Amino acid sequence: MIRKVTKAVFPVAGLGTRFLPATKSIPKEIMTLVDRPLIQYAIDEARAAGIEEFIFVTSRGKGALEDYFDHSHELENHLKKSGKDELLDLLRQTNMESGAIAYVRQHKAMGLGHAVWCARRLINDDEAFAVVLTDDVVMGDPPCLQQMIEAHAETGGSMVATMEVPQEKTKSYGILDVEEDMGAIVKVRGMVEKPKESPPSNLAVIGRYILAPTVLGNLNKLKQGAGGEIQLTDAIADEIEAGRDVFGLRFRGQRYDCGSKAGFLQATVAFGLEREELRDEFVEYLHDVLAMRKAAE
């Protein structure tokens, strides 16, 4: 029987330079998408998937991120006294119980593989674990990670979330070399990180992973890959070379790259339109904007 995945690693040590000057004083992960920070979307997705232990790989200057999940007793008492029960319930959803979150430091920016490796002492030798990148916000029902955990319960091994991208954009992603296409699930023969030419497919890896504990052993080698960084893709590829199974899941949903300004804006529109209390006013505004742009042409 395949052991249930209950731990997730959240690499949140990045500086967020693409969002300067905003990220000069606040971590990128608590930048707000509609009315929730990016990290809350990631946590909610993980909770829905049955994750019970949350491991944050942080760096200097991330104190606000740690504080976000703490209890704000003064604010809770104020809302309670004011009779604002709906806001109180909303606030309590951001709280994490003592011991549910662990923080480890990545002292030097050496890539995603190195960030995951930093969490190695909090993962047992016999348990698979999830990795969630907060830049990738996925709108899916059920949530993307839940889809992956359900699929992983059948396949075992390691699994990555994947989506088709245009050929010209393959150089921006880790790309799967497919051994067997079974529809929603593909068996992976190899992975290439940001291929400059001749990509093996157009199936790109996005920021959701379920990894066998042996991947951490591969990361122990600390080999530098593309860009001089320690690539998680390389450690997963080592699994294949060792004869262990790696799968890709074509998840059902829409992924938004909130690590880019354009992607963040697209996600804001998409999630804004999903909110019933905002939709009508927002749609009217968008129509007006498009009409004015068309008239200006």
Residue 49 belongs to some domain of the structure: yes
C-alpha–C-alpha distance, residues 187 and 201, integer Å: 13
120 and 267 inside one domain? no
Mean pLDDT throughout 250-254? Answer: 95
254 and 280 inside one domain? no
252 and 265 inside one domain? no
pLDDT digits (tens, 9 = 90+) for 176-212: 989 988 989 999 998 888 888 888 888 999 999 999 9
For the record, the structure tokens of 145 come out as: 């990670």
154 and 271 inside one domain? no
| Residue of 197, 177, 202 whose CA lies nearest to 189 | 177
110 and 250 inside one domain? yes
pLDDT digits (tens, 9 = 90+) for 80-103: 888 888 888 777 777 777 677 888
Asked whether 135 and 39 are in contact (CB, 8 A), the reply is no
Mean pLDDT throughout 63-71? Answer: 79
How many domains, the chain?
2
- For 134, the 3-state DSSP assignment is coil
134 and 72 inside one domain? yes
Which residue range is the domain that position 24 belongs to?
7-163+179-186+205-259
211 and 291 inside one domain? no
pLDDT of residue 1: 62
Type of residue numbered 93: Q
Provide Rg for the chain, Cα atoms. Answer: 20
The better pLDDT of the pair 188, 225 is held by: 188
C-alpha–C-alpha distance, residues 48 and 72, integer Å: 24
C-alpha–C-alpha distance, residues 8 and 21, integer Å: 30
C-alpha–C-alpha distance, residues 279 and 167, integer Å: 34
Residue 1 belongs to some domain of the structure: no
CATH number of the domain that residue 77 is part of: 3.90.550.10
pLDDT of residue 43: 93
224 and 86 inside one domain? yes
Residue 173 belongs to some domain of the structure: no
Residue 67 belongs to some domain of the structure: yes
90 and 218 inside one domain? yes
User: Residue 222: pLDDT band by 50, 70, 90 thresholds?
Assistant: low
267 and 252 inside one domain? no
Element (H, E) at 274: helix 261-274
264 and 286 inside one domain? yes
Q: Helix H segments across 61-190?
A: 63-68, 73-81, 85-92, 112-117, 144-155
Mean predicted lDDT score pLDDT of the chain: 88
Residue 193 belongs to some domain of the structure: no
What is the distance between the terminal CA atoms of the chain, rounded to a whole angstrom?
62
157 and 269 inside one domain? no
pLDDT of residue 46: 95
The fraction of the chain above a pLDDT of 70, given in percent, is 97
| Residue of 280, 19, 279, 263 whose CA lies nearest to 138 | 263
The better pLDDT of the pair 25, 147 is held by: 147
Where does residue 138 fall: left (phi above 0), alpha (psi -120 to 50 degrees), or beta otherwise? Answer: beta
The fraction of the chain above a pLDDT of 90, given in percent, is 50
Where does residue 225 fall: left (phi above 0), alpha (psi -120 to 50 degrees), or beta otherwise? Answer: beta
pLDDT digits (tens, 9 = 90+) for 101-143: 888 988 888 889 999 999 999 998 889 999 999 999 999 989 9
| Residue of 135, 148, 172, 158 whose CA lies nearest to 251 | 148
Residue 198 belongs to some domain of the structure: no
pLDDT of residue 82: 83
**Residue 185, number of CB atoms within 10 A of its CB:** 18
Alpha-carbon distance values, 274 to 130, 210, 263, 267, 289 (Å): 27, 28, 17, 11, 19
Residue 194 belongs to some domain of the structure: no
pTM, two decimals, is: 0.88
| Residue of 44, 70, 252 whose CA lies nearest to 148 | 252
pLDDT of residue 224: 57
C-alpha–C-alpha distance, residues 110 and 224, integer Å: 9
Torsion of CA 68, 70, 74, 78, to 10 degrees: 70
Asked whether 174 and 192 are in contact (CB, 8 A), the reply is yes
The better pLDDT of the pair 222, 230 is held by: 230
Residue 52 belongs to some domain of the structure: yes
- Per DSSP, 2 falls in state P
Type of residue numbered 279: R
